Chain A
Amino acid sequence: MFYREAGDFKTSYQDDNQTFPIKFDRYRYYFMLFVAFAIIPFMINDYWVNAVFLPFLIYAIAAIGLNILTGYCGQVSLGTGGFMAVGAYAVYKLMTMFPEVSVLIHIVLAGVITAGVGVLFGLPSLRIKGFYLAVATLAAQFFLVWLFNRVPWFYNYSASGQISAPERTFLGEPITGPATEAWAAYLVCLVFVTLSAIVARNLTRGSLGRKWMAIRDMDIAAEIIGVNPLGAKLSAFAISSFFVGLSGALFFAVYLGAVEVGEVFGINKSFLVLFMIIIGGLGSIFGSFAGAAFLVLLPVFLKNVLVGGLGWPTDLAAHLEFMIVGGLIIVFLIAEPHGLAQLWRVTKEKLRLWPFPH
């Protein structure tokens, strides 16, 4: 009953421009933030943080990044894993080169560096589109992984070829390295994901977002209204890569702590994040969260129910996961390209008018 637009009149364009124009949505959003910041940190243990919360939050940032490029600007990328690796190696080099600077600043700088690399690999998008661009980004993926494997400078000549995050603190509390408490790691990622989502939402609802969507929907028409395709595409690559780099930096420094590039940031990562935005919803910030949550929770759920509950062998459960994800991708691509976010929107639209649809 209280999910209503009627009676909630907008008297200015500012009001109409709000992210959550409906009161109920706005309150739910504040409530979620309250729970995430003030309640969850006191309730979680290592298992929940490492199996669910950290991957969910970090993948959500990566998905937001890829969604800007693919969902908003229409440029398909299979290089997400490679760009996450750039973020990871950038933060590693910064942490070891400038140990006196706060790691939070390093994480942001890692995003900036990845943005630069993203623009570089985005240059071909001016000439090639669709499938061919996807192949070009795939080349970037393999090149970047190869580069980080082959050039010892990137991993500080360590014998194993791995990188591992040294301990860094914030307000005296370790937030990277083995001594990090679960809640501290969670809060760091939560702050980054919240800020990322707000910034991404603001960028996509303003003039930059409209430029991206114009390029996505019809690049010829975009040009005719004065959008420079070069600027629009490269800004999408830059901002998208910024978020992806941020997520890579967090994935390495805060979540895993030690990384072997081919294993962690291989082509599988690229596909995983792509699947997240397809299932969650292309061109939707909320969808980036929904997709990340779904693909992080699914294996946890299957493992707990099938392996833990019903006693299935682990590999069988893993195969089932592949089949479910594969099936869902096909279903969403064919039936609902706007993913879970659109299903949610349609449900809300129905609710909004219920019980009098006309």
Chain B
Amino acid sequence: MLDQEQGYVTADGRQIGGTVMDMRNITLRFGGVTAIKDISFDIREGEIRAIIGPNGAGKSSMLNVISGFYVPQEGQVYFRGEKRAPMRPYEVARQGIARTFQNIALFEGMSVLDNVMTGRLTQMKAGILSQALWRGKAEKEEVENREICEKVIDFLEIQHIRKTPVARLPYGLKKRVELARALASEPKLLLLDEPMAGMNVEEKEDMSRFILDVNDEFGTTIALIEHDMGVVMDLSDRVVVMDYGRKIGDGTPEEVRNNQEVIDAYLGVSHD
């Protein structure tokens, strides 16, 4: 089914492109704990890739490797065909990789709009003098980037809380603002760590819709971690299944669902 160059066509008829992110034989240890054991998988242009697995399986650790927080002891990361040297998270961000966190990581002292605007920081290049005088480039790029952020804000339907301090928002909206901040950077690859954790059914439906729309409208490649199997089956094109740091399954939701090892390790548990 997978052609390295041509990609593939999804069940709902979307054309998926070549490999964007290629993780090869990644091993990550914390002292005696091996969080990731020799895992390889790829993420392809335009697809929604899910990573699932029981608690402590190493899913978040995997995202942290991609975004540069953890440096794996073994293995290589290839981004857009090039081997990536170990780099700091801010350098990863500048390559066009944005993410959200399992535990929301917003700037609590700032308004929603300012939080979203921080997503544009890598694109804002005005010199210090221009900023100090608020003339020329600084003023111009503030307005240009504001327009992009307002589009994201409209898209995620958070116009009404634009000027609200983030600290005052309920949990579900915070998750949405965090997504807005990530989207504002117009990422090539978007990593979402449990975007629906702790949400009620309605909020989950909204979030699922947003994720699909982002993928659909902007063609953004998305890798997400999620526990809710229904959501995973609905959203994702391909799924990686992890258990105790190992990869025990990889394929379409259909394939993964019928994989005996996956059923034993993960689905079996949750369907008890």
Contact = CB atoms under 8 A, between A and B. Distances in A.
A207 B126 contact: yes
Contacts of A221: 101, 105-107
Nearest to A201: B134
A81 to B, nearest CB: 26
A12 B139 CA distance: 13
Contact of A206 (B99, B138, B150): B138
Interface string A146-185: 0000000000000000000000000000000000000000
A26 B143 CA distance: 21
Interface in A196-250: 199, 202-203, 205-208, 210-211, 213-214, 216-218, 220-229, 235
A12 B101 CA distance: 33
A355 to B, nearest CB: 22
A229 B109 CA distance: 18
B110 interface: yes
Contacts of A235: 128
A13 interface: yes
B198 to A, nearest CB: 18
B142 A206 contact: yes
Given A14-B143, A17-B142, A208-B131, A226 B122 contact: yes
Contacts of A13: 142-143, 146-147, 150
B93 A225 contact: yes
Given A210-B114, A218-B105, A283-B109, A225 B121 contact: yes
A218 B106 contact: yes
Contact of B133 (A202, A207, A223, A226): A202
Contacts of A229: 90
Contacts of B141: 207
Nearest to B89: A223
Contact of A210 (B108, B118, B138): B118
B105 A224 contact: yes
B90 A228 contact: yes
B126 A213 contact: no
A216 B108 CA distance: 10
Interface residues of B, number: 40
B89 A224 contact: yes
Contacts of B247: none
Nearest to B100: A224
B158 interface: no
B248 to A, nearest CB: 29
A208 B128 contact: yes
Contact of A224 (B67, B110, B126, B131): B67
A41 B101 CA distance: 56
Contacts of A214: 107, 110, 118, 121
Interface string B89-116: 1100110001101000111111000100
A224 B106 contact: no
A199 B132 contact: yes
Interface in B130-176: 131-134, 138-139, 141-143, 146-147, 150
B124 interface: yes
Interface in A278-337: 283
B238 interface: no
B117 interface: yes
Given A14-B143, A217-B108, A225 B88 contact: no
Contact of B134 (A206, A211, A223, A224): A206
A283 B111 CA distance: 13
Contacts of A202: 131-134, 138
Contacts of B119: 225
A228 B88 CA distance: 9
A227 B117 CA distance: 13
A30 B67 CA distance: 48
B181 interface: yes
B109 A226 contact: no
B94 to A, nearest CB: 5
B139 A14 contact: yes
Contact of A226 (B131, B142, B185): B185
**Chain A CB within 10 Å, residue with most, of B67, B105, B106:** B105
Contacts of B146: 13, 17
Contacts of A223: 88-90, 93
18 contacts: A13-B146, A199-B133, A202-B133, A202-B134, A205-B134, A207-B121, A207-B126, A210-B118, A217-B107, A220-B89, A223-B88, A223-B90, A223-B93, A224-B89, A225-B121, A226-B90, A226-B121, A228-B90
Top 4 closest A-B pairs, CB basis?
A: A226-B93, A217-B107, A226-B122, A221-B105
Given A214-B118, A214-B121, A227-B90, 7 more contacts: A12-B143, A14-B143, A221-B101, A222-B107, A224-B89, A224-B101, A225-B185
Interface of A: 12-14, 17, 199, 202-203, 205-208, 210-211, 213-214, 216-218, 220-229, 235, 283
Interface of B: 67, 69, 88-90, 93-94, 98-99, 101, 105-110, 114, 117-122, 124, 126, 128, 131-134, 138-139, 141-143, 146-147, 150, 181, 185
